[in-house]
Structure 1
């Protein structure tokens, strides 16, 4: 399975059938980023750029790989892959603007370095959490496979990044699904200051491919011709026969992890040894001997690139500093979504909550013909709650996909699908399990549009909640983890009608939506629901009953607890607000009701401290204080994990506390 290149002290080049034009172009492609880097190091010392992650000595990998790819194929580089960006011919002034935090960069000053993507050049940059890159590549490759595009996706990481769990999850998914991905590991000897001997306990990282049933190769990462010719061969093969390949490039980092860290931890003899393997100097000598290059041409090319760099720096310097407003910043957190109302039909049928979700999901699959559902056991088995039962027969296994048990990689795969223009719904088997994919949710999905204008067109279905004696790992209602995170939308229906209409809107919305579904309501709540497809807007609470004595605010199962309690007290005339969506939140409905009643009580199933009831209480105090006749009351579950046995779960839940607190507030 594994092929290996000989370690070379005196580098040899095999030009095979490459013509002189190609040989020279590869040299030019390497020289340009080297000269840019040398300039950046000067600017760094002058304080004109804030940070620099040097790829000096590794140019052959970035250039050779990118040159082997088609321009419409996605590449997912890291922070030492300047050659990817220059080989894709991104205008230098835009790169310089990015590094200086100018508006003409790719992130409007919101992120630095190579933490950006650009659809124009089919590049998707990294985030500081290195692992998600591989999973996102899986999603882009899956989209290519679903669309029969015969394209390969290429993704980079360093040898240190391969210790991240996301990397292993993504390799496994790619192998199981036979995705056309080239996984490129730049093994440059050190993860910051930690040498490879303290990073992993095997000779070659390429050996890890054996465990995934994956082809692998080891390539001399300093030999541009070996990199380019081998990558052309592999990319051509993968386009014809889609599959993942793990490639380990042996190279070395000649400068610090970033310039501030230095290289004092590297033995000098190691630096000296690798200095003799400089990819540009060795290739330059080869081209001189071959007569492809002359000393005059070298001087000419250097002068040309130095002038180009200088001219483009002047353009970037001439740009004004970013001037923004709070509204500009807030408006870019989410992709614009123009809600389109689809009105309900007159024909209805009585559905349980679980049935309405299944029906709504099925109708969305019919409406969006490339919508993909992913999750554990969602295919033939129909999911643990049977919501997708029968979907495979109607939509096929390409669109209804069983996944390995790897929440991070699947959420990242969904992000890759979105980058490639495909919507997806991911079923988290239980909302509790989102912790295994927490990083891509809050750091990738939530921040992508704000950072570089890339939507995350993903719905995460979150079966949640207590009342079924399932214990601490299957019963949490963890919505507050996500209402806190800008960039995410959070929806939490309490009734079958709302669940169906809101799910349709969630799938239409190009932003990431967490759709909470209370397990205890799945089969216990019934309602007449329109049979056809319809939508309900986010941020519009439902006023379930009206009164002038008090405002009751709840969502999810807590709505039913509140209604049940009020039935026992017909003398209490209450406004009952079912929030339905928590982000965005219908503050207008809340304020209007509280200003009318003068009292407010908020009931949530979640534990008290840090829950959404606390924020709603604070908002009411700030905006309705002069209208209040009593303190705002929060009623929530115990600040403990959720216990298993019924009597402990009953004691934990806020359900049975609500009546007493309601009566106290009425008597205040």
Structure 2
């Protein structure tokens, strides 16, 4: 059972704060409470659809938002309405957001507090809660790299602290000594699950030392205590960057959301915490010490209620959104028009292995973009497990070439935080298989953030991928199809050294999120003469690796080399189309080759079922049917995990089955 309130009164201490400051905090505290009262009425009237209440917890938000500078970032959660009002967001725009109107921050695409505003230095949450911690780390890292002497505050509930992202976020902040304040609103429940069913410790102050982090506990219903604690800490952290964990003891007086109710809460606990209401108690305190007179209180209330009603009238008068297909599609990606950078025709060239081309492209992008930061396990002095960043730390420094703890989710999230502050980030997965641990950050944060509230994610995730080296099921997967389904991402997959360098440079140049797949089997087996200078390859444009007349083989990555080998062995005149970019893929080039030959087969290293070939073959059947002289075919690896033994792996891969199917297609 959640504990009773620890104190029978809130013991306000004004310290040396002026009367004016005390009144400002009162007005700031009162505004979200009055908004809540209005929203609950509107909810009962059916004029709004849902409400997540912060009733009883307002002092934490108000203490925090008033303790920071206006240009310091705050990352709030469901119950932090006071953060938004405390940053002086126009109420009509806030209410339009709640109503799903076009003038809201997400243009009707997301709900309530699931938004951010760079103008107000707020980064909104997603429903998965924990990923906020890593984004705060990235913002804190940007402050530290830029020597800005600023602090970031990020919120979590006690329930969300059970997520792995909470651990990763705190651990990275502690290791890198980031200027981040982690505020845990310890309100006793995660929806209806009490604290003792969430964790075995008593207080979060027990947790901080395990991370090597300072922790303090505050009475979260005491606005002066919260304000003074965070203000004092922030002033110190700006000069002595480090993370601090604050546990704010409080209680949620209404349901997780209104439909949930509070029947699961013992009556005695509700009564105890009701006596510690943060608004009523602070108001009584100000009246007792003669700071708040009845006339002033009435004036503040009238002003707040008028502002709320006026803003609601504006929000309700705005018409419902009229969907515009082009607007929706255009907002998937941040605006960017690529101008392909060509290497001088008479410029120097040299023979490069696939791995060297990647390394050189990355190095040249580091030179071109001083705001580019590389992060990954063992990429520093060790140079990465494949030695792609060998020597980079010595050349560019440890701030920009950062060894990370073993925490893919936190590092991808930190990349997004860097992006919010105008940096570029490259995150290396040691193996593409390990990205599963960071999946949520990619598909729910990087991919959706621009569509949701206009914030780009300038992050490239490098993915060493592919089988053929007897590395077994956890170091050999082809997992590009996991992400192909996700709007908002861009995916590239080079098959040769020229494109390996050009596509990487292009991905880093583009301010949108990229997954860059690089086949480990090509690293030291594929070579070509390529330009030594900086250049880019066109994104979204396929290329013919071979031209022929009788059949079209559409493929990418290692499949290009298998297709070339098969065509040569079998004496087949084939168009071999290398997609190069998987998302967005080149429909025009696919249609052109199908029209040319009338026969098409798709080859992929990924397992056959649900792969990228299935989508493209379906598109061909729908859009190119009249040009076909045979069924559209495809081949891929077996629908099993990647086996370890070389003989089993050879059977798993599609090379021999592809040759048989190609022969079948030719004679159809």
What TM-score range do you get, normalising by the shorter chain?
over 0.9
Distance in 2 separating the partners of 1:365 and 1:75: 30
How far residue 296 of structure 1 moved from its aligned partner, in angstroms, is 2.4
Specify the SS of the correspondent of 2:156. strand
Q: What whole-Å deviation, never above 9, does each CA across 1:212-245 have from its counterpart, x for those lacking one?
A: 0000000000111111111111000100100000
The correspondence of residues 615-626 of structure 1 with structure 2, limited to 5 A, is: 615-626=615-626
Residue in 2 that maps onto 1:496 = 497
Cα distance between partner residues in 2 of 1:121 and 1:286? 31
For residues 103-123 of structure 1, the C-alpha deviation after alignment (integer angstroms, 9 at most, x for no partner) is: 111000000010000001000
Distance of 1:326 and 1:91 partners within structure 2: 28
Q: Is 1:361 aligned to 2:362, yes or no?
A: yes
Please give the alpha-carbon distance, in whole angstroms, between the structure 2 residues aligned to 1:22 and 1:381: 53
Distance 1:666 1:327 in 2: 41
Q: Which residue does the alignment assign to 1:380?
A: 381
In the other structure, the counterpart of 1:556 is 557
Alpha-carbon distance in 2 for matches of 1:665, 1:332: 41
Which residue pairs with 1:646 in the alignment?
Answer: 646
Q: Return the TM-score normalized by structure 2.
A: 0.98
Aligned partners of 1:289 and 1:613: how far apart in 2? Answer: 73
Which is worse superposed, 324-333 or 185-194?
A: 324-333
Residue 105 of structure 1 pairs with residue 109 of structure 2: no
**Structural mapping, 1:299-318, within 5 Å:** 299-318=298-317
SS at structure 2 position matched to 1:186 = strand
- Name the CA distance, whole Å, in 2 between partners of 1:626 and 1:522: 41
Question: Structure 2 CA distance, aligned partners of 1:85 and 1:578?
Answer: 49
Distance in 1 (alpha carbons) for counterparts of 2:134 and 2:30: 32
Mapped to 2, the partners of 1:10 and 1:658 lie a distance apart of 76
- Mapped contact 2:159–2:189 kept (Cα < 8 A): yes
User: What is the CA distance between 1:317 and its match in structure 2?
Assistant: 1.2
Q: Is the 8 A contact 2:75 2:155 kept in 1?
A: yes
Compute the displacement of 1:98 (Å): 0.2
**1:182-331 pair list within 5 angstroms:** 182-331=181-330
Distance in 2 (CA, whole Å) between partners of 1:79 and 1:328 is 28
Which sections of structure 2, spanning at least 5 residues, go unmatched?
A: none
* Farther off after superposition, 352-361 or 282-291: 282-291
Matched with 1:577 is 577
In the aligned structure 2, how far is the partner of 1:656 from the partner of 1:181? 55
What is the deviation of 1:569? 2.5
Report the counterpart of residue 435 of structure 1 in structure 2: 436
Q: Could you say which residue in structure 2 is the equivalent of 1:24? A: 23
In 2, the alpha carbon distance for the partners of 1:278 and 1:544 equals: 70
The answer for the alignment partner of 1:476 in structure 2 is: 477
Q: Which residue of 2 aligns with 1:3?
A: none
Matched, 1:33 2:53: no
Contact 2:412 2:438 in 1 (8 A): yes
**Which whole-Å CA distance do the structure 1 matches of 2:113 and 2:192 have between them?**
21
Measure, in 1, the Cα distance between the counterparts of 2:454 and 2:75.
16
Within 1, Cα distance between the matches of 2:294 and 2:55?
A: 22
Instruction: State the alpha-carbon separation in 2 of the partners of residues 544 and 473 from structure 1.
Output: 31
SS at match of 2:119: helix
User: Once the 2 structures are TM-superposed, how far is the Cα of residue 11 of structure 1 from its aligned partner?
Assistant: 2.0
Residue 120, structure 1, aligned to residue 110, structure 2? no
Q: Distance in 1 between matches of 2:336 and 2:70?
A: 30
* Structure 2 counterpart SS, 1:123: coil
How do 1:371-450 residues align onto structure 2 when only pairs under 5 Å count?
371-450=372-451
Q: TM-score, normalised by structure 1?
A: 0.98
CA-to-partner distance for each residue in 1:497-547, whole Å, 9 max, x for gaps? 001001000001111100000000000000001000001111111112212
Specify the SS of the correspondent of 1:248. Answer: strand
Structure 1 segments (4+ residues) deviating >4 Å: none
> How far off is 1:257 after superposition?
0.4
* Rounded Cα–Cα distance in structure 1 between residues aligned with 2:538 and 2:48: 45
Residue 459 of structure 1: aligned partner: 460
Most deviating of 539-548 and 365-374: 539-548
Provide the secondary structure at the position in 2 that maps to 1:226. helix
Corresponding residue for residue 85 of structure 2: 86
Partner of 2:522: 521
Contact 2:546/2:564 (<8 A) preserved: no
What CA deviation, in whole Å up to 9, does each residue of 1:49-93 have, x standing for no partner?
Answer: 111011111111000011000000000000100111111100100
Measured after TM superposition, the shift of residue 159 of structure 1 is 0.3
> For residues 69 and 322 of structure 2, what CA distance do their matches in structure 1 show?
37
Secondary structure of the corresponding residue to residue 463 of structure 1: strand
For the residues of structure 2 that align with 1:569 and 1:651, how far apart are their CA atoms? 20
How many angstroms apart in 1 are the aligned matches of 2:85 and 2:415? 28
In the alignment of these two chains, the number of paired residues is 662
Aligned to 1:347: 348
1:304 deviates by 1.3
CA contact 2:503–2:537 (8 Å) conserved in 1: yes
Distance in 2 (alpha carbons) for counterparts of 1:587 and 1:206? 56
Report the aligned-residue RMSD: 0.8
- Following the alignment from structure 1 to structure 2, what is the Cα–Cα distance between the partners of residues 379 and 11? 50
Report the CA distance between 1:295 and its aligned residue.
Answer: 2.0
Secondary structure of the structure 2 residue equivalent to 1:537: coil
Q: Give CA-to-partner distance per residue, 1:122-147, whole Å, 9 cap, x none.
A: 00010000110000000000000000
Counterpart of 1:121 in 2: which secondary structure? coil
The separation in 2 between residues aligned to 1:10 and 1:141, in whole angstroms, is 36
Provide the rounded CA distance (Å) in 1 between the counterparts of 2:538 and 2:586.
11
Q: Distance in 2 between matches of 1:543 and 1:646?
A: 31
Between the aligned partners of 2:396 and 2:339, the Cα distance in structure 1 is 25
User: How far 1:33 sits from its partner (Å)?
Assistant: 0.7
Distance 2:102 2:395 in 1: 48
Show CA shifts across 1:237-261 (max 9, x none): 1001000000000000000000000
Query: What is the CA-CA distance between 1:7 and the residue it aligns to?
Result: 3.1
Give unmatched runs, 5+ long, in structure 1. 1-5
- What is the distance in 1 between the residues matched to 2:229 and 2:494? 53
**C-alpha deviation, 1:280, in angstroms:** 1.0
Q: Name the CA distance, whole Å, in 2 between partners of 1:409 and 1:369.
A: 23
SS at match of 2:338: coil
| CA-CA distance at 1:46 after TM superposition | 1.0
- For residue 406 of structure 1, report the CA deviation from its aligned partner: 0.3
Alpha-carbon deviation of 1:324? 2.0
Deviation at 1:321? Answer: 1.1
Shift of 1:328: 1.3
| 8 Å contact kept, 2:428–2:462 | yes
Q: Note if 1:95 corresponds to 2:110.
A: no
In 1: Cα distance, 2:13 partner to 2:114 partner: 35
Which whole-Å CA distance do the structure 2 matches of 1:10 and 1:411 have between them? Answer: 44
